[in-house]
Amino acid sequence: MYSFTHLQTQRIHKQLAQVKNDLLASCKRDEIGVYWQSPFYETAEKFSFQTTVDIFNGNSGIALFYIGLFELSGDREDLKMAADIVNKVLQEEAVLKPRSFGFYTGITGVIYVCIKLYEHNKEEQYLRHASQLLSDNQENIVNNTVKADLLSGYSGSLLVITLLYHHLQTKNLLTIIHQLVDRIIKEARISEFGLKWDYNQSKSSFDSLAGFSHGASGIACVLMQVGNYFKNDGLIYLAEQALAYEMQYFDSGSGNWLDLRLGKFRLSLPDAHRWDLDVFIPEMNKVNSWAHGAGGIGLARLFAYELTGKEIYLEQCELVMKKCSKDLEKMHRTDFTLCSGYTGLLPFLSRFADLQQKNYAGLILSVVDQAGVQYARKRSYNTYISANQFDYGLLSGKSGVGYILLQLLNKDMESVIYPVLPLNDKGHPVIAGSDKSAIRQRIFSTYYVKTISLLDQLEPDFMLKLQAEDFNELEARLDQKISRLPDLEEYGIAEVFDFEQKMAARWKLHKGYLCYKKKKEFILDQAKQLSVATTEELCGLSFVLNDHVSFYPLNKKLKRTMGLLQSYQAALFMSEESGVSTVYIGQLSMLILNYLYQQAMTGQELISLILADFLPNAQQLLETTVLRERILLQMRSLIISGMIGLNENV
């Protein structure tokens, strides 16, 4: 709860009027409608102006500001202004031939604004525009959008399409929703805790991101909203798994979630290839905004608490409140924009105030006043960006600050910053294969294909009966079940389970595309240097099994049960850019890698141990020499393939 005095309300209205006047003074109008031009950076310092259509910093976002003005004032001129903006947007080249398809950054955002305009003026043409835009861009929205995130990925599109379905109730829209949900399930990956998305080349990050705009919280928020709309426990389950993943990156020292993005500077650090979080962490715990950090993450936790009633989410909200309060007491940064600045923290503060029945009016007003002071001096809400004084965008500029002021004055205002689906009063169609049990079975069984197949042979539909809340519990239940089987030795299930569990462990540790791209660059560079090393030099160097490789010896029963060639001596579980692969190796490679799996050693030590294995009785010099050359040749091959490398601790 927060309550402003009359004078405080006047201060908010005064700054809102300033934003509105600035927008009116800078707009352009033609025979089609109204528009603004946004700064576009050609270099770090040089920029030009372009007409953009997205919500982030384009005209669709400014239209939402005017819709918010109408909700507050009831003035039909504000709603007409929004319509004039949208009419112009719909004729732009970027809408007729779009290149970006996400929610805040692309064509899905235009669809969203059309829906919102229809909800207020009830003109059916805007629903038709929304439906046509979706139809024209369906393939790109559903299948060709690489990212999963809320801001620019397909989860954001899922929320908007569900909103469109709420109004139109067509089978085609429900089919698209099915397709997007299926993709979300298919692309979920296990981690040490919970599930994650966006581990591919779409993100330059340490791991799948935390946060509301690009990370786990935003995806979770969509899944909770859509799950609640359709009364689907499976989607809510996936949302909670995303939040569990995100908690791995809560930094208790700073009280914040880590910003896992990696730029050129961090990636060029000497030890970057080690992918040790401590190498990158010094700046990762400082960002707190709507997009990244506690401020946005708190919005997802608020909804999770409201939806599930679980106290753990309320406790996490309290952590967010503590962090935001601490940051707002200092306000040492000069960024008050919605996406990356201090006003982006206010949606959480105001909603948490209502939940806790506490009055945070003073804290909220301190942000409004400081933003106003800076704007009076600099004509900019973000002085870190030279062109911000010309930025009228919703997330990046002036209309976004105005949008937050509107929310403070109108608690009932619908907000794109915290998008909420309406209540479903038209029935709850089933989204096939997406109930909680089916989702868990589909995701979990991916990692234990052979184990579950063998157990199903002994006990039909075993997996259907197995109840496990998360992946770690599934493994514990499988282990427990297998240990109690009669005639365990006969089936080889224990061996298969151990094999698949070791591979699953490698999946849990997988940090995504960029991690292994960077490691591969280092390994290839090291292999290039070692390719010219003499035999004497190789013998003197210390080697290790590279940390993206796990070594697993194979016994006869496992090979027989899994149908593997008897000549295979070991398996390697290798983390690569796209995931985890399995490589089977023969005797000589197995001996080399087995020794290095146990400990680092020099080339000479390795050769001596293998010679002792093969020629225990010190046979003829010729045999020893030939074998020694074979070992050295195999070592060079393993270096080139990236399986072994230099011991950096020497």
Note the pLDDT tens digit of each residue in 552-561: 999 999 999 9
**Full DSSP string of 190-230:** E-SSSEE---STT--BSSSPPSSSSSHHHHHHHHHHHHHHH
Classify 574 as helix, strand or coil. Answer: strand
pLDDT reading at 618 higher than 60: no
The reply to whether 482 and 587 lie within a common domain is: no
In a domain, 53, yes or no: no
Return d(Cα 428, Cα 441) in angstroms, integer: 23
The reply to whether 637 and 517 lie within a common domain is: yes
pLDDT reading at 100 higher than 90: yes
- Residue 646 parent element (H or E): strand 644-646
The predicted pLDDT at position 293 comes to: 98
Decide which of 621 and 312 is more confident.
Answer: 312
Block residue for tokens 């087995």: 594
The predicted pLDDT at position 624 comes to: 83
Q: Do 83 and 34 touch, CB atoms closer than 8 A?
A: no
Q: What's the token pair of residue 337?
A: 């924009």
Residues above pLDDT 90, as percent of the chain: 87
In a domain, 555, yes or no: yes
The predicted pLDDT at position 623 comes to: 74
Note the pLDDT tens digit of each residue in 235-289: 999 999 999 999 999 999 999 999 999 988 889 988 999 999 999 988 899 999 9
What lies within 8 Å, CB to CB, of 410 at 6+ separation is 68, 71, 72
Q: What's the token pair of residue 319?
A: 């952590």
The predicted pLDDT at position 480 comes to: 92
The predicted pLDDT at position 488 comes to: 65
Report the domain count for the chain.
3
In a domain, 177, yes or no: no
Give the residue-averaged pLDDT of 31-40. 94
In this predicted structure, which of 190-199, 302-311, 464-473 has the lowest mean pLDDT? 464-473
Work out the pLDDT band at 539, boundaries 50, 70, 90: very high
The reply to whether 194 and 326 lie within a common domain is: yes
What lies within 8 Å, CB to CB, of 315 at 6+ separation is none
The reply to whether 227 and 275 lie within a common domain is: yes
Classify 144 as helix, strand or coil. Answer: helix
The reply to whether 451 and 562 lie within a common domain is: no
The reply to whether 498 and 523 lie within a common domain is: no
Work out the pLDDT band at 439, boundaries 50, 70, 90: very high
The residue out of 477, 506, 535 marking a domain boundary is 506
* Main-chain dihedrals φ then ψ at residue 321, nearest 5 degrees: -60, -40
Count CB atoms within 10 A of the CB of residue 135: 11
pLDDT reading at 44 higher than 80: no
The reply to whether 214 and 322 lie within a common domain is: yes
pLDDT reading at 619 higher than 80: no
In a domain, 615, yes or no: yes
Q: Do 384 and 396 touch, CB atoms closer than 8 A?
A: no
The reply to whether 475 and 578 lie within a common domain is: no
Return d(Cα 287, Cα 340) in angstroms, integer: 9
Classify 602 as helix, strand or coil. Answer: strand
Q: Is 515 annotated as a binding residue?
A: no
Decide which of 258 and 425 is more confident.
Answer: 258
In this predicted structure, which of 65-79, 362-376, 454-468 has the lowest mean pLDDT? 454-468
The predicted pLDDT at position 616 comes to: 67
What lies within 8 Å, CB to CB, of 575 at 6+ separation is 506, 509, 510, 515, 516, 548, 549
The reply to whether 320 and 252 lie within a common domain is: yes
The predicted pLDDT at position 574 comes to: 97
The residue out of 506, 531, 546 marking a domain boundary is 506
Give the residue-averaged pLDDT of 452-474. 89
The reply to whether 522 and 606 lie within a common domain is: yes
Length of the chain (residues): 650
Ordered alpha helix ranges (H), 531-602: 535-540, 556-562, 587-598
Domain, as residue range, for 598: 510-646
Return d(Cα 326, Cα 200) in angstroms, integer: 35
Q: What is the average pLDDT score of the chain?
A: 94
Distance of CA 187 to the CA centre of its chain: 11
The predicted pLDDT at position 464 comes to: 80
The predicted pLDDT at position 272 comes to: 92
**Full DSSP string of 310-356:** -HHHHHHHHHHHHHHHHHHHH--S-B--TTTSGGGGHHHHHHHHHHH
- For residue 579, give the CATH number of its domain: 3.90.930
Give the residue-averaged pLDDT of 600-609. 96
Return d(Cα 189, Cα 639) in angstroms, integer: 30
pTM listed for this prediction:
0.96
What residue type is 501 in one-letter code? Q
In a domain, 146, yes or no: no
Block residue for tokens 């779009």: 98
In a domain, 417, yes or no: no
In a domain, 591, yes or no: yes
In a domain, 440, yes or no: no
Burial of 486 (0-12, 13-18, 19+ CB in 10 A): exposed
The reply to whether 525 and 607 lie within a common domain is: yes
pLDDT reading at 509 higher than 80: yes
The reply to whether 240 and 195 lie within a common domain is: yes
The residue out of 506, 522, 552 marking a domain boundary is 506
* Neighbour-count burial for 154-192, b at 16+ CB within 10 Å, e otherwise: bbbbbbbbbbbbbbeeeeebbebbbbbbbbbbeebbbbe
